[in-house]
Structures are given as C-alpha cells and as structure tokens.
Amino acid sequence: MTAAIARNAAASTLTSTHPSIWIAPVGIAGLAFLAGEGPRPLSALQLVIAGMILFVGTIVAAFSRRFMRSDPRRPSYFARIALLIGSVLLFVLTNDLLAFAAAWVASGILLASLIGHANALPEAREAATRARRTFLIGDLALLAALAIVGGHGGTTDISAALSRSGSLSPLAGHLAALLLVIAAAARCALPPFSAWLLSSMTAPTPVSALMHAGLVNAGGFLLLRLAPILEAAPAARYAAVGLGLFAALWGLGIMAVRPDAKRALAGSTVSQMGFMIMSCGLGAYAAALWHIVAHGLFKAWLFLGSGSLIGMRQREGVPISRAAVRMAALVALLAGVYLAFTAEVGGELVALTLAVAAAAATLIAGYGAPAPRRARARLVGLVTALIAANAAGLLLIASLYEAHAEPLLPSPLLIALAALFLVAWLLQAARMARGAALPPALYVRLLNAGALRATRTGDLA
C-alpha cells in the first residue's frame, strides 16, 4: 500500500512538472544546432553567455514554481520571465543591430516590470520607476552609439559594422565608445546609476537571482560584443577603468554597512560589476568573461538561498592579528615583484595574480587569527579550492575566447592597480581588527545608498 502511494506520488510529480525544466535541454540543443549548422557560426562569447542564461533561467523558473505558488499574478509573472529570458537570448545571439537594440530595450522594460511586480506597494512602484528612468538613459546612449556605428558602416550587420568602425573619425569613434560605456554602466548599476539595483529588493527573490546572474552582467557582454569600438578609443577605456575602480570600492563599502542580506548582496554586485567593467577597459576580455560566468552562477545561488538566512544567529567576526596583516602585505609585495619581472604583463595575468594573492592573504589572515584548528583547516581547504577553481575557469575561458586588446596601461601601472585592491583589503582588515568605525557621514551615505523615498525614514532599521 505504501509503495503504491509512493509510486502514485512520483507519477503525479512527473506529470505535473513545470515546463521550465525543458528550457535548458531544448535551449542547449538549439545552441548546438546554431553553432554547427546555423547560417552563421556562433562565437565562444555568445555560446558561453547563452548557455549560462539558459542554465540560470531554468533554475529560476523551477524555483519560482513553488516560491510564487500563492501569488495571484502568477501567470503574468511566468510570462514576463519567459519573455525576459527570450529577449536576453535574442540580443546575445543576434548579429543584427536593429534586433540587438530592440531586444536590449525590451529586456530593460521587462526587468523593470518584474521589479515592480508587487505593484500594490508604493516601494515597488517607485523602484520600478527608478529602474525605467535609469534604463532609459542607458538605452538612449546605446541607440545613439549603434546609430553612429551602423550609419557609418551602412549596414545593420554587427560583424560588418564592427569591421568598418576602424575608419570612424576620432571624434565619432570616441563618442560612440563613451556612449557604450554609459550604456554598460547604467545596466551594470555602476555609480551614478547604482540606485536602481540597490532599490530593486522589492522584486521577488527569483527575479533578484536572475537579475544579478544575467541581466546586470549585460553591460559587460555589451562591451565584449562591441569591443573593437572600445579598443579604438583610449579615452573611453580610461573612463571604464576609472568608473569600474570607483564602483568596486563603493560597492564594497555598501556591502560592509548594510544589515539586510539582499541589499548587502546588491552592494557586492555593484563592486563585482565595477571590477568586470574595469577588466573590459584594460582589455582583459577573457578575465571579464570568466567574471561574468563565475559571478552569475555564484550570485544566483546566494540570492536563491537568501531566505534561509532569516532567523539565523549572526556569527561573530574573527579578529585579524597584526602579524597576519604583515604577512598579507608580504604576499602582496611578492606578487608585485613577480609581475614586475614578468616579460609580458596582460590583464588576464593581473586578474589571476590578484585573485590568488587576495586568497593567499585571506588564508594567512586565517592562520594568524586566534581561530580553532578545525576552523583554520576548513579555511585552508576553502581558499585552496577557490584559487584552483578561479585559475582553472580563467584558463579555460582564455582558451575558448581568444580575443585580445592592446594593453591600456604599462606594466608598472597595472601592478599599482592590483596593489591598490590589495592595499584596500589590508586597510579594511586593519580597521576591522581595531574595531574602528567609518566616518559618520560616509557611513550614513553608504547605508542610505539606493533608499526609496517611501521607506527612507525606516531604511536605517
């Protein structure tokens, strides 16, 4: 009797399975066909991004089936999720400027609609309005850039237009590249456009997961897809590096002061997007693509699991000893010496060395802190796994995506840029070890970043 009930339950589960489980296998089969038999072969960039979108979209759709089961607007929600995934796949896979622009704009409209899904709440309506206004600025910048490139090339074919973009006048080329950086910054939520992402916590949790895993990364894909325009404009590349550097530090500050899990994760996303845009500006395309994939998968997992943090007791931070900070500084110094004596210093090498050095510094800090031996052993295993995964993923992407740009900065400046991140980590570690607080004005500014007018007075709670 029990076995029969179990079989019936299993059969019922199988027959009522949501169609979302077929998104990934059908989509991957379609990608395989397009890559092998399609009218135009897909690039490694398109295949990697499309595969990630299909994978995350399938998980989000399956998760949403249970999460949204009592929502009265459930059919509308799933329809918009499907259209959103479709619009993203369209601008990733298309080679037509008009289709690219239409899908890009549509994805922003659909995302803003999902941010305001709970439209009965004034906070949700205001967050959706803020996202629409920000996307409008970025979309207008993108349309203007595409008009310059397509008009000059006399074609709507992206590949042909890019091949002819080298003959743009210096003024037109720099203008188009700067407009692309603005469009990427708006979609990636880099300052001064970060408020839309920080206020988007009114969206359902699955939407936040999809947003941070795929939609926010679209700015990085835009710069990678249209990289020849950016490469011909050094001023735009410097702007991308400077803006990305500031966003990386600004987002880190937001993450450090926010008491709520979802907005702290949003601050982390701002920081990660800044690092990704900076990598694009430096010409480290493989590092930027690996960053998109790794950040997308990891952040989707964090958002889908954010509900489990409710009611959990916060762990006390482990103080970092002065000896550990000194050892971390030594690791940073040795990394700089290694880079200085390397014959060719590229963006990918800087990104990889930076990640390894930061992970090693964290490992040393764990050894130097008065933590139990078992906890230190777990830290050793975790950091070692992170170093290995990061190195393997970056090398794999670099082997698939063989696009390179002329170095933007000489080796000493690249070393200084990597050292800046390590110094920022060391200063933060030292500040936490002392128990020092941020300046009150900066603390309040970071805490209220992205606060909505409807909830500004209660946002400090």
What value does the mean pLDDT take over residues 407-415? 65
Residue 248 and residue 292 in contact, taking contact as beta carbons nearer than 8 Å? no
**Measured between alpha carbons, how far is 292 from 289 in angstroms, rounded to an integer?**
5
Categorize the per-residue pLDDT at 318 as very low, low, confident or very high, splitting at 50, 70 and 90.
Answer: very low
Residue 189 and residue 131 in contact, taking contact as beta carbons nearer than 8 Å? no
pLDDT at 225: 93
Residue 86, Cβ density class (10 Å: 0-12 exposed, 13-18 middle, ≥19 buried): middle
Residue 432, Cβ density class (10 Å: 0-12 exposed, 13-18 middle, ≥19 buried): middle
Judged against a pLDDT cut of 60, whether residue 454 lies above it is answered with no
Judged against a pLDDT cut of 60, whether residue 162 lies above it is answered with yes
Rounded to whole angstroms, what are the CA distances from 172 to 152, 184, 303?
9, 18, 41
Judged against a pLDDT cut of 60, whether residue 298 lies above it is answered with yes
Judged against a pLDDT cut of 50, whether residue 368 lies above it is answered with no
pLDDT at 206: 87
What value does the mean pLDDT take over residues 261-271? 82
pLDDT at 382: 65
Categorize the per-residue pLDDT at 455 as very low, low, confident or very high, splitting at 50, 70 and 90.
Answer: very low
Tens of pLDDT along 76-112?
A: 888 888 889 888 988 998 889 999 999 999 999 999 9
Of 225, 204, 184, 188, the residue nearest 96 (C-alpha): 225
Tens of pLDDT along 4-51?
A: 434 443 343 333 344 544 454 455 445 545 544 455 678 888 888 988
Tens of pLDDT along 420-448?
A: 666 666 666 566 556 666 777 777 777 77
The SS3 call for residue 339 is helix
- Token pair of 130, please? 């803020």
The SS3 call for residue 96 is strand
- Token pair of 425, please? 């980590």
pLDDT at 205: 83
Categorize the per-residue pLDDT at 300 as very low, low, confident or very high, splitting at 50, 70 and 90.
Answer: confident
This prediction has a pTM of: 0.79
Categorize the per-residue pLDDT at 174 as very low, low, confident or very high, splitting at 50, 70 and 90.
Answer: very high
Instruction: Report the amino acid identity of residue 140.
Output: L
pLDDT at 411: 61
pLDDT at 130: 92
Judged against a pLDDT cut of 50, whether residue 343 lies above it is answered with no
**Measured between alpha carbons, how far is 380 from 363 in angstroms, rounded to an integer?**
6
Of 337, 359, 347, the residue nearest 422 (C-alpha): 359
Judged against a pLDDT cut of 50, whether residue 210 lies above it is answered with yes
- Token pair of 224, please? 């990678």
Rounded to whole angstroms, what are the CA distances from 207 to 87, 111, 292?
15, 8, 18
What value does the mean pLDDT take over residues 219-223? 93
**First-last CA distance in the chain:** 53
